[in-house]
Amino acid sequence: MIHAAGFFPYGIVGGSTNLEEANAHLQAWACSHARSSLARALEGKLDFLDGLIIPHTCDTMRMLLDLWEHVHSLPYMENYRLPRQANRASAGKYLLGELKRIKKGLEQYRGAPIENKALMDSIKLYNHNRQMLRKLTDLHANYPHLISSRRLYTVINASMVMPREEVSRLLEALLGHLEQDLVDEAENDHVRLLLSGTLLEPFEVLDYIEEFGGTVIADDFQNGYHYIESDVNTELDPLEALVDRQLKRIPSAAFDIEQNPRRFFLTSLASEKKAAGAIFLHLTFCEPENFDSYDNLKAMQAEGLPAIRIETQFGGTGLGQIRTRIHAFMEMLGGESR
Amino acid sequence: MSAKNVFKTAELMKKIMKEYNEAGRKAKEEGRPVAWVTAVFPVEIIYAAGLFPYYPENFGAVAAARKVTHDLSTAAEAKGYARDLCGYARSGIGDAYSEEHPVGKILEPDLLFCCNTQCGSLPKWFEVAARFYNSPYFLLDSPRVGLETDRLCIDYFIEQLHEMITFIENQTGEPFDYDRLAEVLHLSNEACRLWNEILDSAALRPAPFGFFDACFHMAPIVTLRGTQEAVEYYRALKEEIEERIEKGITAIPEERHKIYFDHIPCWPKLRWFSELFASRGALVVASQYTHSWAYSFDLERPLESLAENYTHEFVNRCFEYRVKRKISFMKKYDVDGFVLFSNRSCKPNAFGLYAKSKLIREQTGLPGTVFEADMADLRLFSEDQVLAKLEPFFEQLN
Most A-contacting residue of B113, B156, B370, B377 (CB-CB within 10 A), to test interface? B156
pLDDT over 50 (residue B1): no
> Beta strand B111-115 with A214-219: parallel, antiparallel or unpaired?
unpaired
Query: What residues pair up with B21 in beta bridges, in sequence order?
Result: none
Using CB atoms, which residue from A287, A297, A309 is nearest to B120? Answer: A287
User: Which amino acid is present at B318?
Assistant: C
The verdict on a CB contact (< 8 Å) between A93 and B156 is: yes
Closest CA to B226 of B32, B23, B42: B42
CB B49 within 8 A of CB B176: yes
Any CB–CB contact under 8 A between B354 and chain A?
yes
B144 close contact with A: CB closer than 8 A:
yes
Q: Where are the alpha helices (DSSP H) in chain A?
A: 20-23, 32-42, 59-71, 89-110, 116-142, 149-158, 164-180, 204-211, 225-228, 238-247, 261-272, 287-302, 319-332
Of the candidates B159, B320, B348, the beta carbon closest to that of A59 is on B348
| Domain A20-110 architecture | 3-Layer(aba) Sandwich (3.40)
What's the rounded mean pLDDT across residues B334-347? 97
Mean pLDDT for B373-387 is 97
pLDDT of A256 over the 80 cut? no
Q: Are B44 and B140 in contact (CB under 8 A)?
A: no
A290: nearest CA partner in chain B: B81
Q: Is the pLDDT of residue B369 over 50?
A: yes
Q: Which residues of A touch B320 (CB under 8 A)?
A: 66
Sheet holding B52-54, edge to edge: B52-54, B34-36, B111-115, B137-140
**B104/B117 Cα distance (integer angstroms):** 28
Torsion angle of C-alpha atoms A67, A71, A77, A81, degrees rounded to 10 = -10
| Close Cβ partners of B97 (under 8 Å, ≥ 6 residues apart) | B75, B76, B78, B79
CA distance B383 to chain A (A): 19
pLDDT value of residue A186: 53
To probe the interface with A, which of B345, B347, B377 has the most A CB atoms within 10 Å?
Answer: B347
Query: Are A62 and B144 within 8 A, CB to CB?
Result: yes
Q: What does each C-alpha distance from A1 to A120, A130, A230, A237, B273 come to in angstroms?
A: 9, 16, 17, 13, 51
Instruction: Give the Cα separation of B264 and B289 in Å (integer).
Output: 6
At A46, is the secondary structure helix, strand, or coil? coil
**B3: confidence class by pLDDT, cuts 50, 70, 90:** very low
* The predicted structure's pLDDT at residue B4: 53
Of all residues in chain A, the one with the smallest CA distance to B77 is A294
Closest CA of chain A from B92, distance in Å: 13
Are the beta carbons of A27 and B131 separated by less than 8 Å?
no
Q: B342 CB near a chain A CB, below 8 Å?
A: yes
Separation of CA A135 from chain center: 17
* A:B CB pairs within 8 Å: 139
Domains, in order of start, for chain B? 18-177 (3.40.50.11890)
CA distance A283 to A223: 13
Banded model confidence at residue B2, pLDDT cuts 50, 70, 90: very low
Q: Mind listing the pLDDT tens digit for each residue in A131-179?
A: 999 999 999 999 998 999 999 999 999 999 999 999 999 999 999 999 8
Question: Per residue in A42-94, pLDDT tens?
Answer: 999 999 999 999 999 999 999 999 999 999 999 999 999 999 998 899 999 99
User: Residue B145 gets which letter from DSSP?
Assistant: B
Touching check for B379 and chain A: CB below 8 Å? no
List pLDDT tens digits, range A196-251. Answer: 999 999 999 999 999 999 999 999 999 999 999 999 999 999 999 999 999 999 99
CA distance A314 to A203: 10
Tell me if residue A47 falls in helix, strand or coil: coil
How distant is the Cα of B1 from the closest Cα of chain A, in angstroms?
32
| Whole-number percent of chain A with pLDDT over 90 | 87
Probe site for chain A from B85, B127, B151 (most A CB atoms < 10 A):
B127
Residue B283 has pLDDT above 50, yes or no: yes
Mean residue pLDDT of chain A comes to 94
Does the beta-carbon distance from A90 to B163 stay under 8 Å? yes
Return the domain boundaries, chain A. Answer: 20-110
Residue B381 confidence class, pLDDT cut points 50, 70, 90: very high
**Total-model pTM:** 0.96
CA angle B339, B342, B345 (to 5 degrees): 140
Mean pLDDT to the nearest integer, B157-176: 97
B95 exposure class (CB count in 10 Å sphere: 0-12, 13-18, 19+) = buried
Helix, strand, coil shares, percent, chain A, to 5: 50, 10, 40
Sheet holding A214-219, edge to edge: A214-219, A191-197, A277-283, A307-312
- The amino acid present at B242, given as its one-letter code, is E
Q: pLDDT tens digit string along A94-103?
A: 999 999 999 9
The distance in angstroms from the start CA to the end CA of chain A is: 45
Q: ipTM of the predicted structure?
A: 0.95
B359 touches chain A (CB under 8 A): yes
CB A248 within 8 A of CB A91: no
Q: Are B56 and B134 in contact (CB under 8 A)?
A: no
Q: Is A193 left (phi over 0), alpha (psi -120 to 50) or beta?
A: beta
B68 to B64, B79, B103, B159: CA distances (angstroms): 6, 18, 8, 40
Q: Does B345 touch chain A (CB under 8 A)?
A: no
Average pLDDT, chain B: 96
Residue A187's pLDDT band (cuts 50, 70, 90): low
Band of residue A257 on the pLDDT scale cut at 50, 70, 90: confident
N residues, chain B = 398
Q: What are the φ and ψ backbone dihedral angles of A236, each rounded to 5 degrees?
A: -95, 170
Residue B79 forms contact with A (CB below 8 Å):
yes
